[in-house]
Amino acid sequence: MDQTDILSLDPVIHAPIRLAIVTILAQIENASFGYLKESVGTSDGNLSTHLSKLEQAGYIRIQKKFVSRKPLTQYSLTTRGRTAFMNYIDQMDSIVNAQRNTVKG
Protein backbone atom coordinates (compact mmCIF):
# COMPACT_ATOMS: atom_id res chain seq x y z
CA MET A 1 0.00 0.00 0.00
CA ASP A 2 1.25 3.46 -0.78
CA GLN A 3 -0.01 6.81 0.42
CA THR A 4 -1.96 7.44 -2.79
CA ASP A 5 -4.42 4.74 -1.69
CA ILE A 6 -5.35 6.77 1.37
CA LEU A 7 -5.13 10.12 -0.38
CA SER A 8 -7.46 8.96 -3.16
CA LEU A 9 -10.38 8.30 -0.80
CA ASP A 10 -13.42 10.30 -1.87
CA PRO A 11 -13.35 13.44 0.33
CA VAL A 12 -17.09 13.97 -0.13
CA ILE A 13 -17.86 10.62 1.51
CA HIS A 14 -14.88 10.45 3.89
CA ALA A 15 -16.19 13.10 6.33
CA PRO A 16 -17.70 11.16 9.27
CA ILE A 17 -21.21 12.64 9.11
CA ARG A 18 -21.43 12.26 5.33
CA LEU A 19 -20.14 8.70 5.61
CA ALA A 20 -22.88 7.99 8.16
CA ILE A 21 -25.54 9.55 5.90
CA VAL A 22 -24.43 7.57 2.84
CA THR A 23 -24.20 4.36 4.87
CA ILE A 24 -27.77 4.83 6.10
CA LEU A 25 -29.11 5.67 2.63
CA ALA A 26 -27.33 2.65 1.12
CA GLN A 27 -29.44 0.42 3.35
CA ILE A 28 -32.88 1.95 2.82
CA GLU A 29 -34.80 3.38 -0.12
CA ASN A 30 -35.12 6.88 1.35
CA ALA A 31 -35.05 8.73 4.66
CA SER A 32 -36.60 11.88 6.03
CA PHE A 33 -34.57 14.75 7.41
CA GLY A 34 -35.77 13.89 10.92
CA TYR A 35 -34.74 10.25 10.60
CA LEU A 36 -31.27 11.21 9.38
CA LYS A 37 -30.89 13.82 12.10
CA GLU A 38 -31.82 11.32 14.81
CA SER A 39 -29.67 8.56 13.31
CA VAL A 40 -26.59 10.72 12.86
CA GLY A 41 -27.06 12.72 16.05
CA THR A 42 -26.26 16.17 14.73
CA SER A 43 -27.89 19.59 14.55
CA ASP A 44 -30.25 20.74 11.80
CA GLY A 45 -27.68 23.18 10.41
CA ASN A 46 -24.84 20.69 10.42
CA LEU A 47 -26.95 18.01 8.77
CA SER A 48 -28.18 20.47 6.13
CA THR A 49 -24.60 21.44 5.28
CA HIS A 50 -23.55 17.82 4.81
CA LEU A 51 -26.66 16.97 2.79
CA SER A 52 -25.95 19.95 0.51
CA LYS A 53 -22.41 18.70 -0.11
CA LEU A 54 -23.72 15.26 -1.02
CA GLU A 55 -26.37 16.77 -3.29
CA GLN A 56 -23.82 19.01 -5.06
CA ALA A 57 -21.68 15.93 -5.75
CA GLY A 58 -24.73 14.20 -7.24
CA TYR A 59 -24.65 11.49 -4.57
CA ILE A 60 -28.12 12.06 -3.13
CA ARG A 61 -31.52 13.08 -4.48
CA ILE A 62 -33.77 15.37 -2.47
CA GLN A 63 -37.52 15.05 -2.88
CA LYS A 64 -39.91 17.53 -1.28
CA LYS A 65 -43.61 16.80 -1.02
CA PHE A 66 -46.59 17.35 1.21
CA VAL A 67 -48.19 14.63 3.32
CA SER A 68 -51.43 15.63 5.04
CA ARG A 69 -50.62 19.26 4.25
CA LYS A 70 -47.26 19.00 6.02
CA PRO A 71 -43.96 19.33 4.16
CA LEU A 72 -41.85 16.18 3.98
CA THR A 73 -38.31 16.16 2.63
CA GLN A 74 -36.86 12.78 1.75
CA TYR A 75 -33.34 11.86 0.73
CA SER A 76 -32.17 8.91 -1.32
CA LEU A 77 -28.90 7.70 -2.76
CA THR A 78 -28.46 8.19 -6.50
CA THR A 79 -26.82 5.62 -8.75
CA ARG A 80 -23.74 7.84 -8.78
CA GLY A 81 -23.80 8.00 -4.98
CA ARG A 82 -24.16 4.24 -4.63
CA THR A 83 -21.24 3.70 -7.03
CA ALA A 84 -19.09 6.22 -5.15
CA PHE A 85 -19.96 4.54 -1.84
CA MET A 86 -19.07 1.07 -3.17
CA ASN A 87 -15.77 2.43 -4.53
CA TYR A 88 -15.07 3.99 -1.13
CA ILE A 89 -15.77 0.69 0.63
CA ASP A 90 -13.51 -1.17 -1.81
CA GLN A 91 -10.69 1.33 -1.24
CA MET A 92 -11.05 1.12 2.54
CA ASP A 93 -11.10 -2.67 2.35
CA SER A 94 -7.89 -2.61 0.33
CA ILE A 95 -6.22 -0.26 2.81
CA VAL A 96 -7.30 -2.36 5.81
CA ASN A 97 -6.16 -5.62 4.19
CA ALA A 98 -2.79 -4.13 3.26
CA GLN A 99 -2.34 -2.95 6.84
CA ARG A 100 -3.29 -6.36 8.23
CA ASN A 101 -0.76 -8.02 5.95
CA THR A 102 1.93 -5.58 7.11
CA VAL A 103 1.17 -6.23 10.78
CA LYS A 104 1.18 -10.02 10.29
CA GLY A 105 4.54 -9.54 8.79
In a domain, 97, yes or no: no
Residue 4 has a pLDDT of 59
In a domain, 95, yes or no: no
Reading across the β-sheet that carries 60-67, which strands appear in turn?
31-32, 70-77, 60-67
Confidence of residue 94 (pLDDT cuts 50, 70, 90): confident
In a domain, 16, yes or no: yes
* More reliable by pLDDT, 31 or 103: 31
In a domain, 4, yes or no: no
Residue 24 has a pLDDT of 98
In a domain, 20, yes or no: yes
In a domain, 98, yes or no: no
pLDDT digits (tens, 9 = 90+) for 45-89: 999 999 999 999 999 999 999 989 998 999 999 999 999 999 999
Task: Specify the CATH number for the domain of residue 31.
Answer: 1.10.10.10
CA distances from 4 to 10, 71, 102 (A): 12, 44, 17
DSSP 42: -
In a domain, 77, yes or no: yes
